[in-house]
Amino acid sequence: MARIKIAVIIGSTRAARFADKPARWIYDIASQRDDMTVEILDLRDYPMPFFDEVASNAWVPSENEVAQRWQKKVAEFDAYIFVTAEYNRSIPAVLKNALDYAYPEWNRKPVAAVGYGSVGAARAVEQLRLMAIELQMAPIRTGVHIQGADFMAVWKAGKEIADLPYLRQNAADMLDQLVWWTRALKTAREQPLLLDAA
Ligand SMILES: Cc1cc2nc3c(=O)[nH]c(=O)nc-3n(C[C@H](O)[C@H](O)[C@H](O)COP(=O)(O)O)c2cc1C
């Protein structure tokens, strides 16, 4: 069966970010599988202003050139893994902005999340799932949450995420579910959509 195309999207852009560690970790695990190809998308490479278009690109094409480049890139993938911190109990604003800057490109595709923080960004990931519904995405059940003492050990005490073996099984479960939903939705997207005729 053909490999699915997955983007790992790094949801934090600040200079001192922790995000690179979980992004690289999930990228390494996903790229060892033979059912997917994986690419890291770094929002630092897409420095979009806070949303400043006349409308969502669901209705009006965006004028900002970086936004256009972002939309084209997002469209290349079958599914997404967001690597997200929790900023004041939600996802970082830069990630919300990047979500707002595309619409048809996200539609009818599945989304998974790797969260990190005191509670593994669980609250942010739940909010991300609600946003995904409005973007007509399918949020999958299992997420990876690097949390509590484990997060602190990696953040401050030099431990590696790979030193936490239970997370590897957790990631495998998440990726298995992501593959199932990606194949199901890819097949479904090839069928005529009754909603479009309404
Ligand atoms: C503005 C801000 C708000 C934060 N709010 C939370 C929070 O609500 N929950 C949490 O677990 N950690 C919170 N933190 C701590 C982050 O988990 C920690 O700084 C993490 O490294 C942020 O991800 P990043 O380094 O990839 O940007 C916050 C950090 C910042 C900078």
Report the percent of the chain where pLDDT is more than 70: 97
Kindly tell me if the per-residue pLDDT of 191 is higher than 90.
no
111 Cα to the center of ligand 1, angstroms: 22
Residue list, ligand 1 pocket, CB within 6 Å: 12, 14, 17-19, 85-89, 117-119
92 Cα to the center of ligand 1, angstroms: 9
120 Cα to the center of ligand 1, angstroms: 10
Calculate the dihedral angle through the C-alpha atoms of 43, 46, 51, 53, rounding to the nearest 10 degrees.
-150
Q: Cα 43 to chain center, whole Å?
A: 11
Amino acid at residue number 121: A
The pLDDT-based confidence of 195 (bands split at 50, 70, 90) is: low
pTM of the model: 0.96
Tell me which residue has its CA closest to atom 18 in ligand 1: 117
Kindly tell me if the per-residue pLDDT of 198 is higher than 70.
no
Average pLDDT over residues 172-181: 98
Kindly tell me if the per-residue pLDDT of 196 is higher than 70.
no
Model confidence pLDDT, tens digit, residues 155-175 = 999 999 999 999 999 999 999
* Three-class HEC string of the chain: CCCEEEEEEECCCCCCCCCHHHHHHHHHHHHCCCCEEEEEEEHHHCCCCCCCCCCCCCCCCCCCHHHHHHHHHHHCCCEEEEEECCECCECCHHHHHHHHCCCCCCCCCEEEEEEEECCCCHHHHHHHHHHHHHCCCEECCCCEEEEHHHHHHHHHCCCCHHHCHHHHHHHHHHHHHHHHHHHHHHHHHCCCCHHHHC
198 Cα to the center of ligand 1, angstroms: 43
Q: What pLDDT score was predicted for residue 194?
A: 66
Average pLDDT over residues 132-157: 96
Model confidence pLDDT, tens digit, residues 16-66 = 999 999 999 999 999 999 999 999 999 999 999 999 999 999 999 999 999
Average pLDDT over residues 83-97: 98
63 phi-psi bin (left φ>0, alpha ψ -120 to 50, beta other): alpha
Q: What pLDDT score was predicted for residue 1?
A: 82
Q: Which residues are paired to 117 by β-bridges?
A: 147
Find the range with the poorest average confidence among 8-12, 115-119, 154-158, 172-176.
Answer: 154-158
